[in-house]
Amino acid sequence: MTNSRHSPNIFEDEEAARHWVHSSFDNQGTVVPSDVRDKLHLRGLVPSGIDSFENQEERAMEQLRLKKTDLEKYMFLAWLKNTNLQLFYRMLLDNLEEITPLIYTPTVGSACLQYSHILPFLAPPGQPDGLFISLKDLDNLDELFRNYIEALPEPELTPQITVITDGSRILGLGDLGVNGMGIPVGKLQLYVAAAGLDPRRTLPICLDFGTNTDRFLEDKLYLGLRQHRPDDEQFFAAVDKVMKALTRHFPNIFIQFEDFSSEHAFDLLSKYRDDYFCFNDDIQGTGAVILSGFINAVQQAPVDPREHRILFHGAGSAGVGVAKQLMDYFVIEHGYSEEEAKKKFWLSDSKGLITKDRGDRLAQHKVFFAREDNDGHQSKSLLETIDYVKPTALIGLCAQSGVFDEAVLKRMAELNERPIVFPLSNPLDNAECTFASAMKHTDNRVIFASGTAFPSYQVPGTDEIRVPGQGNNMYIFPGLGLGATLAKPKCITDTMIYAAAKSLAGSLNDDEKAHNLLYPRLTRIREVSVDVAEAICTQALKDGVAKDDVVRRLKTPEALREHARENMWEPTRKTEDIVHSNL
C-alpha cells in the first residue's frame, strides 16, 4: 500500500503545502531532502544536516532508552507518534519486542491509571488522541463526528476501524472511566504495527459515561465526567445512539468492543453482532487466542486430548468467552456433543466453584457452565476446587495477583506430568502467577502462557533457557481486523473466529515448534496476521457473508494472502517516497 495523497500538488497549491508541512504524517522533519525543503520553504526551519532514516531512528531509540521509567517511555512514544507518525511506526516495527510492552500491556495499564495526569503531554493541541463521547453529548453526536473528521490530518481518509470502550473494566484494573482511552489507542497501534491497517484510518473511541471509582471522581485532575455511571436502561440507550451515529458517519466501519464490564459485554455483543460489522475482543478475540495456545499445548501434554479437564479461575467476559471457544474445540475436533463438551469445564469466581445449587443468583453469563453434577458439593478455595476437579489445565482470568500460589502450582504438578497453567490476567501485576514461580513449583514441567509477557527463565543448574508463551488477544485481533476490512462480511461468524484460532495455532514455524512455543515469535507478527486474515477471508467466503468483490474473486489461500500483504500499510523507508511519486 502506498502512502500517496493524490491531490492537490503540494508544490503548486499553497494550502496543500501548508498542510503537508504541518502534518505529522507527511513531514518527517530531519530526513526531508533539501530540494523538498526549498520548495516548501523549510530552509532554516530544521538544521542543515539531512538525516538517513537509520540515524533518525537511532536518535529516537537513544532518547527512548534514556527515559528512566516505562511511563516516561510511554509518554515519549505517544508524543513521537503524534509528531512524526512514520518514524514511530518504523521504530515499533524494527523493535517490536522492546516497544510492544511500552505501548500495550503492561505499560498501557500504568498509563491508563495516570491518563488524566499525562494526557495534555501526549499530543500537540488540536490533535486528538481519539474521540471522547460524553454522556452529556448524546444530542451532539453529529457535531462530535464532524469535529473529529475536520481535525484529522487527512479528512478524506475516513476511519475504517474503531476500538470502542467505556473504560468500565480496563485490563484487570477495574473501572477507570475516561482514563480508559489508553486502551483503544494502544490496540489500534497494534492494528497498524501487527497487521498494516492504515494509521490514518483508525479511530479510538472512549465513551465517557462517568465512573463508579470514587478516587477518580475525587481527583481534581480527572478529565472525565464527574458522575457515577448510568443505570442499564440509560446505558444501552446511550450506546445505541452512538452506534447509530458512528455508522451513519462511517457506514463500513469495523467495530471492536473492548473492556466493557462483563455485565454489559455479552449483551452488547448479542445485540449488535448480527446487524453491525463488529466483534468483542475480550470474549471472541481472547477465546480465539487461547484456543490456539490450547491446541498447541494439548500436543505437548502426554494426555489423550479427550481426557482434558479444564478449570477456569475467573468467570467474567474473558473466562466465559474462552471456555465457550475451547468447548468448540471438543465439538469440532473430537466429535463431542455440546452437552458432553461442556462437562469438561469447571468455572470458579469470587464465591468459589460455580454450581447451580450454590445458593446465590448467578449472573446470566455464568449459567451456561454452572455444574449440576456436583451432588451438593461446593468448594470455596481454589485448592479445594482443584482437589475436587483434578484439572489437567488451570486458566486464570480473575485479575487476582499471585492466586496461583506455591500450593496451587505444586498440586497441579502432582496431578499432571505436564500441567497446563495459563495465568492470563493483565497487566503483569495482576497475573495469577509468574513464569518463574510456575517453573519452580512444577519442577519445570509446566506448559505456560500468560496475558502479559514474562521474561525467559534459565533452568537452574543448566544452560537451558525456557521462553514463556504470551496468550494475548493481540495475536488475533490485528489479523482478524485486516481480514474483516478486506472481505467486508455482513457480520463476524463463530466459524470465522474458530478459523482464525486454528490458523494461529498452525502458524508456528519449525524453529518455534522445536522450542515448544505455543505462539509464534512476536517478530513474525505481520506474517502471522496475514495467515489469520486469509483464514478470516476464506471462512467468510465459505459462510457466504463476504461482500467484497475482489475477495470473492480470489479463491485460493495464496491469492488471499497476497491480497492481504499488498494491502498492508508500511511506513516510508525510502527518501524518494517522502514526496509522493504523483507530484
Nearer to ligand NDP (CB atom), residue 102 or residue 347: 347
8 A C-beta contact, residue 360 and residue 279: no
Give the 3-state secondary structure of 233-288.
HHHHHHHHHHHHHHHHHCCCCEEEECCCCHHHHHHHHHHHCCCCCEEEHHHHHHHH
Nearer to ligand CC(=O)C(=O)O (CB atom), residue 284 or residue 472: 472
8 A C-beta contact, residue 166 and residue 184: no
Query: Alpha-carbon torsion 39, 43, 46, 52, what sign?
Result: positive
- The site for Mg ion, by CB under 5 A, has a size of 2
Q: Say how many C-beta atoms besides its own lie within 10 A of residue 375's C-beta.
A: 8
Q: Is 175 in the site for Mg ion (CB under 5 A)?
A: no
Q: Can you list the alpha helix ranges (DSSP code H) found in 67-152?
A: 70-83, 85-94, 96-103, 107-113, 115-118, 141-151
Residue with cell 530531519: 30
Binding segment for Mg ion (CB under 5 A), chosen from 131-139, 140-148, 274-282, 320-328, is 274-282
Q: Per-residue string for binding with ligand NDP, 200-219, x by CB under 6 A?
A: --------------------
Q: How far is CA 520 from the centre of its chain?
A: 16
Residues 442-471 that bind ligand NDP (CB under 6 A): 451, 471
Q: Per-residue string for binding with ligand NDP, 261-300, x by CB under 6 A?
A: -x-------------------x---x--x-----------
- 561 Cβ contact list (under 8 Å, min separation 6): 530, 531, 533, 534
Provide the b/e sequence for 43-57 (b: ≥16 CB within 10 Å).
Answer: eeeeeeeebebeebb
Residue 316 interacting entry, from ligand CC(=O)C(=O)O, ligand NDP, Mg ion, none, C-beta within 5 to 8 Å by type? ligand NDP
Q: Is 432 in the site for ligand CC(=O)C(=O)O (CB under 6 A)?
A: no
Nearer to ligand CC(=O)C(=O)O (CB atom), residue 51 or residue 281: 281
Backbone φ and ψ of 489, nearest 5°: -65, 160
Catalytic choice (74, 104, 329, 498): 104
169 is in an annotated binding site: yes
Mark whether 187 is an active-site residue. yes
Q: Is 397 in the site for ligand NDP (CB under 6 A)?
A: yes
Nearer to ligand CC(=O)C(=O)O (CB atom), residue 200 or residue 264: 264
Q: Quick one: which of 387, 390, 394 has its CA closest to 294?
A: 394
Bridge-based pairing state of the strands 457-458 and 465-466:
antiparallel
Residues 150-209 that bind ligand NDP (CB under 6 A): 169, 171-172
Nearer to ligand CC(=O)C(=O)O (CB atom), residue 129 or residue 281: 281
516 is in an annotated binding site: no
Q: Is 282 in the site for Mg ion (CB under 5 A)?
A: yes
- 292 Cβ contact list (under 8 Å, min separation 6): 475, 476, 501, 502, 504, 505, 519
Q: Quick one: which of 384, 390, 382, 357 has its CA closest to 372?
A: 357
Amino acid at 17: A
Angle at 430 between CA 180 and CA 169, to 5 degrees: 30
Catalytic choice (187, 324, 366, 488): 187
Nearer to ligand NDP (CB atom), residue 397 or residue 551: 397
CA distance 296 to 519: 8
Nearer to ligand CC(=O)C(=O)O (CB atom), residue 108 or residue 551: 108
Residues 400-419 that bind ligand NDP (CB under 6 A): 400
CA distance 202 to 131: 11
Q: Is 166 in the site for Mg ion (CB under 5 A)?
A: no
282 is in an annotated binding site: yes
CA distance 360 to 579: 65
Residues 24, 473, 529, 539: which binds ligand CC(=O)C(=O)O (CB under 6 A)?
473
8 A C-beta contact, residue 533 and residue 483: yes
Residues 129, 198, 281, 543: which binds ligand CC(=O)C(=O)O (CB under 6 A)?
281
Residues 259, 328, 349, 531: which binds Mg ion (CB under 5 A)?
259
Q: How far is CA 342 from the centre of its chain?
A: 27
Residue 224 interacting entry, from ligand CC(=O)C(=O)O, Mg ion, ligand NDP, none, C-beta within 5 to 8 Å by type? none
472 is in an annotated binding site: yes
- Quote the least distance from Cβ 282 to ligand CC(=O)C(=O)O, whole Å: 5
Residue with cell 481472547: 286
Question: CA dihedral in degrees (264, 269, 270, 276; nearest 10)?
Answer: 140
Question: CA dihedral in degrees (420, 426, 430, 434; nearest 10)?
Answer: 40
Nearer to ligand CC(=O)C(=O)O (CB atom), residue 169 or residue 563: 169
Nearer to ligand NDP (CB atom), residue 177 or residue 471: 471
8 A C-beta contact, residue 347 and residue 363: no
Binding segment for ligand NDP (CB under 6 A), chosen from 124-132, 327-335, 392-400, 438-446, is 392-400
Binding segment for ligand NDP (CB under 6 A), chosen from 240-248, 300-308, 397-405, 511-519, is 397-405
Residue with cell 477495574: 174
Residue 365 interacting entry, from ligand CC(=O)C(=O)O, ligand NDP, Mg ion, none, C-beta within 5 to 8 Å by type? none
Which residues carry out catalysis?
A: 104, 187
Annotated binding site for a divalent metal cation: 258-259, 282
Annotated binding site: 169, 258-259, 282, 426, 472
Annotated binding site for (S)-malate: 169, 426, 472
Residues that bind ligand CC(=O)C(=O)O (CB under 6 A): 171, 259, 281-282, 426, 451, 472-473
Residues that bind ligand NDP (CB under 6 A): 169, 171-172, 262, 282, 286, 289, 313-319, 348-351, 397-400, 424-426, 430, 451, 471-473
